[in-house]
Amino acid sequence: PAIRAATAGFKVPARMASFLGEGSPFPPTNEVRMLFSRADGETVQEGDLFRNPTYAHTLERVARQGPRALYEGEIAREIVATTHLPALPGTMTLKDLASYRASWTEPVCRPYRGYSVCVPPPPSSGVSLLQMLSILDRTDIGGRRPSDPQAWFLFAQASRLMYADRDRYVADPRFVPVPVDRMLEPAYVRLRAQLIGQHAGAAPLPGDLATPRGRDATAESAGTSHFVIVDAEGNVVSMTTTIESIFGSGRTVEGFVLNNQLTDFSFVPAEGGRPVANAVRGGKRPRSSMAPVIVLDHAGNFVAALGSPGGSAILEYNAKALVGLFAWRLSLKEAIELPNLIARGDTYSGETAKFSPALLAGLRDRGIELKPGHAENSGLHGVLRRADGTYEGAADSRREGVARSLAPRVQRP
């Protein structure tokens, strides 16, 4: 399908055109403009048919040769050469590419409202999503409705507590001990939930879980995508993929953009004399907010899968949808379309136009002044298996995603 899309092309959507256009908040480099240009040399506009035959050829090589097509040979040499171009030359070598290995890890699963929610382990931030759900499960949010300001107050405070621990402790466990079990320990989560009062106070402190660490306040970009696939045999994929910023590093090779994922590291190695867990180190993977989710029932059967792009707000987007599904019993589409609210430290932002004036007033009474901005970038996609065995798919209207059911082809004799 990807080769077909690159060969046949697709119509440029409005959001993509806005990122490529004048006045874009993410100004594209000349390389990116050339990649996304028409035959006349002008950058593609909304509604134009964009084809990328060079990328189709790259994918065909990967299909034939596997990962070696990228990590060795001609494409690898082009990648390395491109990273050494001015004005910001890097130090990548062919040996770096050839020695890279994807890591196979076991998911982390924890109970939530009668189900088992499974996420990737660190350096993914999935454990922080599980912690936030566990904190919320020790409040009365399930007995409230999406129109209740107290429900969103609880959501915001659980989010702040989650980020306080995440920003201190989550990193690559091959280099830094990550206290996953302590973060999710029922007694500890209960203590964290008890910190939620009736009024928003100062930014919460992290728990005393391990060797004291400095806070990582790295800002994360939102050049990420998510998809969910359930096939006819019941196999499920919930996948979040990213090039970090909207156009990654702004450098292109063979029809694709090189990522700038290493900016997920903290470039401040210590805070107040305490080492930052997510500091840069050779061979280390940066902490990521990506947190694709698969939900199972008590017998291990598939119930739901979802995920979203959105930088560090991914955790709240996913949490919102899971609360909507399992605490408020909304449909998958209703859960995805719930308003977004982001609470980290002393900052609160959200889709103020989607919350009622009464709800916003209720939040103000509780010490939360919700500011517009930063919360409109979710792109949730999900699939839910209903009790009768049928499936419900849904995609976030904030982006271009769709939910589709494809009938299997019938082989005729």
Catalogue the active-site residues. Answer: 224
State the CB neighbour count (10 A cutoff) for residue 195.
16
Rounded distance, CA 38 to CA 22, Å? Answer: 16
Amino acid at residue number 385? R
Tokens of residue 380, six digits = 């949730």
Q: Which residues of 100-137 are buried (b: 16+ CB within 10 A; e: fewer)?
A: eeeeeeeebbbebbebbbbbbbbbbbbbbbbbbbbbbb
Pair 251, 258: CB distance under 8 Å: yes
Distance of CA 295 to the CA centre of its chain: 17
Tokens of residue 82, six digits = 């491109």
Q: What is the DSSP letter of 170?
A: -
The pairs formed by 163-166 with CB atoms below 8 angstroms and a separation of 24 or more are 163/128, 163/312, 163/315, 163/343, 163/344, 163/345, 164/203, 164/204, 164/205, 164/206, 164/207, 164/345, 165/128, 165/131, 165/206, 165/207, 165/209, 166/125, 166/128, 166/131, 166/315
Pair 315, 379: CB distance under 8 Å: no
Residue 393 phi/psi, 5-degree rounding, is -115, 150
Rounded distance, CA 290 to CA 373, Å? Answer: 21
Nearest to 71 by CA among 102, 99, 90: 99
Rounded distance, CA 193 to CA 189, Å? Answer: 6
Rounded distance, CA 71 to CA 280, Å? Answer: 23
